[in-house]
Structure 1
Amino acid sequence: MYQTTGQTRQADEEIVKGNSTAPHVGEKRTTKIADSTKSNPGAKIKSYPTNCSTCGAETPMPVLSRKSFKKLPQWDFEDIYNQDAPPRQTTCAQSLRNSMEDEGFKKAFLPNIRLFMHKMNMSEWNRLSHFNNPFGFMEFNYDDVMASVKLMPKPKEPLLLPKSGTDRCVRCAVVGTAGILNGSKMGKEIDAHDYVFRMNGAVIKGYEEDVGNRTSVYVHTAHSITSSVYLLRKYGSTSVPNDEGIKYVLIPEGMRDFNWLEGLFKRERITAGPYKNSRPWTFYGGQYNETRFYVLHQDFLRYVRNRFLKSSHLNDSYWAIVRPTNGAFTVFLALQTCDTVSAYGFMTEDYMKYSNYYVETHVKTNVIFYANHDYILEKNLWKTLHDSKILKLYQRT
């Protein structure tokens, strides 16, 4: 189920390397640099050194095109990630870090994976430029992206701290938007956690009995934060969660997100892309504060895909749009930052009994499967993690 890794070194801001095997396929992938000129004879792409510390430390490498690859390219540094040392220490007896028994998960899990973006040198840019977004900067222009990266404040970590006067455990609930929550009456149980994560169209008003009313961390993209209120207005949505002191976490899924970030950090209207002239800070209900704003690192996003959710659809012609859902990234963010995690509103084995979203209370709708996500792979993973006691998955039956 999980992709295991080799030996790791413990050092400050270290890089580790492991095998590149698909987690759900018994056949091992070869780890080599893809020759893009075979699938696109017109592409003039040079070979890059396999040791990424020498991947052009002075200037940006030539831009790679997704069209040059018929499926996900496998570089020999595919499973190399930045890590921060040391990982958060915990005395919580129930902590995942202290009670992990699933050997497969234990080998795949990196407790100190780099979670958030900050500054970046040219070597890092060139390494990450081999990966498609949101896992890297393939097809992106260095100056366009760095315009926002250079503005990013140093993340204030850890993301969450134990509540004072408790047993020092950080207990978290991650609340998805699935219809299984409709009529669940899980609101009080959700709000009883130390912290509550939500994502996307997290409509709360009118649904508190089922989904709770607290939000500590809201995970989003530029697209989800701009479209959620508009698309869900008929269900009572007026704003994304904006609790006092809330922390916002952005998934940089495309160039439009870096345009968004530049406008946000400069507090100026966006000058390019689909949100041109928008004022991004106005979408956070008056709670935007750069000391409580985080941008997920490409290494973390790729780690989640490679080690836990490596879909077989990455071998298809549309491989470049295939990625875990925002909900999946949020679950793993919680697993990295909390001692215990409970997941509500995620797909379960009996998902066909429920509407697509919990806000759809009057008409039974069908779950929509979009091509860019492997929902069945995610459903199976949540059940496996639940059965292994790595998280607690809310299931109606």
Structure 2
Amino acid sequence: MTKVNTPLGENLWFDGELLYSLTIDNSTYNLFPQEIPFKLPLKKCSVVGNGGILKGSRCGKQIDEADFVIRCNLPPLSSDFIPDVGTKTQLVTVNPSIIDKRFQNLLWSRKSFVESVKVYKSSYVYMPAFSMKHGTEPSLRVYYTLADFSTNQTVLFANPNFLRNIGKFWKSKGVHSKRLSTGLFMVSAALSLCEEVTVYGFWPFQIDLKGKTISHHYYDDVPPMTGFHSMPEEFLQLWLLHKTGVLRVQLEQCDTASSNQKPH
């Protein structure tokens, strides 16, 4: 959301709660940058999901070679994971539910949150503040917390009109779910911002291409919420884009990857 595409006085409809809207007043308008704060088009972009297929992939170097790296939902970037996922981050998403579950909605101590985002250095923090009514307050708290602590991060708010249109697009392609995953939203954004897109860590199955059992995430094996996303349907769409050359889906180890890789 920018001052250009979301003018003062606009009646903004939330994309996740169709009956709720917000009139953009001065206090909200002043949270937005004047325009998109990075030079377009971006050249080479990496969109990094959190799938267990990244574990042991040795893709960190290749991910970091991109000009712009997008990561999803504050993933850990500790030294154990760097060879597989890299460290470079230009934009990291944060779902409001993470602020609730991991940081008590920033109602108590805010320092742990500030410390946790230092690993992303001078990145943009991207939040869907105007998707669901209950997500607005924690998103604004993130904005003011990072401002109060004078961190290197800049908060950007997802435009609900963009999220709504992307949801309709993928539904027309056969992705039927309560809501798209953050990953698919970010791949969609990257395709509109970047000349070349490679996606990593997008693999919704319990075994890899060689039949080896893998964890749900590269950092843990906590299963996803059921009935919310439709990851296999999303992956099929990404694979179709891969096959037609729109983007590249990285599934094998980066030092042994084959251009003719095929999912089982």
Q: Same fold (TM over 0.5)?
A: yes
Go from structure 1 to structure 2 and tell me whether the alpha carbon gap of 1:245 and 1:368 turns closer, same or farther (over 3 Å shift). Answer: closer
Secondary structure of the corresponding residue to residue 302 of structure 1? helix
**TM-superposed deviation, 1:331:** 1.0
Amino acid at match of 1:354: I
Equivalent residue in structure 2 for 1:202, among 65, 71, 75: 75
- State the match for 2:108 in structure 1: none
For residues 367 and 146 of structure 1, the distance between their equivalents in structure 2, rounded to whole angstroms, comes to: 40
**TM-superposed deviation, 1:182:** 0.5
Q: Does 1:159 align with 2:45?
A: no
Unmatched tracts of structure 1, length 5 or more: 1-112, 163-168, 231-236, 268-279, 315-321
For residues 225 and 173 of structure 1, the distance between their equivalents in structure 2, rounded to whole angstroms, comes to: 25
**TM-superposed deviation, 1:146:** 5.2
**TM-superposed deviation, 1:186:** 0.6
* Structure label with greater radius of gyration: 1
Equivalent residue in structure 2 for 1:298, among 146, 153, 160: 160
Asked if the contact 2:77/2:86 (under 8 Å) is kept, the reply is yes
Secondary structure of the corresponding residue to residue 117 of structure 2? coil
For residues 241 and 174 of structure 1, the distance between their equivalents in structure 2, rounded to whole angstroms, comes to: 20
For residues 245 and 177 of structure 1, the distance between their equivalents in structure 2, rounded to whole angstroms, comes to: 21
Secondary structure of the corresponding residue to residue 299 of structure 1? helix
- State the match for 2:56 in structure 1: 183
**TM-superposed deviation, 1:239:** 1.2
For residues 338 and 171 of structure 1, the distance between their equivalents in structure 2, rounded to whole angstroms, comes to: 6
Cα shift readout 1:172-209 (whole Å, capped 9, x = no counterpart): 10111000000001111111111111011411112000
Go from structure 1 to structure 2 and tell me whether the alpha carbon gap of 1:146 and 1:329 turns closer, same or farther (over 3 Å shift). Answer: farther
**TM-superposed deviation, 1:160:** 4.1
Secondary structure of the corresponding residue to residue 224 of structure 1? helix
Unmatched tracts of structure 2, length 5 or more: 105-112, 253-260
Equivalent residue in structure 2 for 1:150, among 10, 14, 29: 29
Q: Does 1:258 align with 2:118?
A: no
- State the match for 1:217 in structure 2: 91
For residues 68 and 99 of structure 2, the distance between their equivalents in structure 1, rounded to whole angstroms, comes to: 21
**TM-superposed deviation, 1:328:** 1.1
- State the match for 2:109 in structure 1: none
For residues 229 and 283 of structure 1, the distance between their equivalents in structure 2, rounded to whole angstroms, comes to: 16
Asked if the contact 1:199/1:327 (under 8 Å) is kept, the reply is yes
Equivalent residue in structure 2 for 1:281, among 123, 126, 146: 146
Go from structure 1 to structure 2 and tell me whether the alpha carbon gap of 1:293 and 1:328 turns closer, same or farther (over 3 Å shift). Answer: same
Q: Does 1:249 align with 2:156?
A: no
Q: Does 1:387 align with 2:243?
A: yes
Asked if the contact 2:92/2:124 (under 8 Å) is kept, the reply is yes
Cα shift readout 1:265-289 (whole Å, capped 9, x = no counterpart): 5x3xxxxxxxxxxxx438989223x
- State the match for 1:271 in structure 2: none
Asked if the contact 2:9/2:25 (under 8 Å) is kept, the reply is no
- How many correspondences in the alignment? 237
Q: Does 1:119 align with 2:7?
A: yes
- State the match for 1:346 in structure 2: 202
For residues 284 and 335 of structure 1, the distance between their equivalents in structure 2, rounded to whole angstroms, comes to: 33
The CA RMSD measured in Å over matched residues stands at 3.5
Q: Percent identity?
A: 22
Amino acid at match of 2:228: N
Amino acid at match of 2:83: E
For residues 227 and 208 of structure 1, the distance between their equivalents in structure 2, rounded to whole angstroms, comes to: 25
Equivalent residue in structure 1 for 2:18, among 133, 138, 156: 138
Cα shift readout 1:19-54 (whole Å, capped 9, x = no counterpart): xxxxxxxxxxxxxxxxxxxxxxxxxxxxxxxxxxxx
Secondary structure of the corresponding residue to residue 239 of structure 1? helix
- State the match for 2:117 in structure 1: 240
Secondary structure of the corresponding residue to residue 63 of structure 2? helix
Cα shift readout 1:88-134 (whole Å, capped 9, x = no counterpart): xxxxxxxxxxxxxxxxxxxxxxxxx99x9633545x44xx3xxxx5x
Q: Does 1:355 align with 2:215?
A: yes
Secondary structure of the corresponding residue to residue 116 of structure 2? coil
**TM-superposed deviation, 1:262:** 4.0
Q: Normalization by structure 2: what TM-score?
A: 0.74
Secondary structure of the corresponding residue to residue 327 of structure 1? helix
Higher relative contact order (CA 8 A, sep 6+): 2
Secondary structure of the corresponding residue to residue 199 of structure 2? strand
More strand by share: 2
Q: Does 1:170 align with 2:32?
A: no
**TM-superposed deviation, 1:298:** 1.2
Secondary structure of the corresponding residue to residue 228 of structure 2? coil
Asked if the contact 1:178/1:358 (under 8 Å) is kept, the reply is yes
Secondary structure of the corresponding residue to residue 168 of structure 2? helix
**TM-superposed deviation, 1:136:** 5.7
Asked if the contact 2:16/2:132 (under 8 Å) is kept, the reply is no
Q: Normalization by structure 1: what TM-score?
A: 0.51
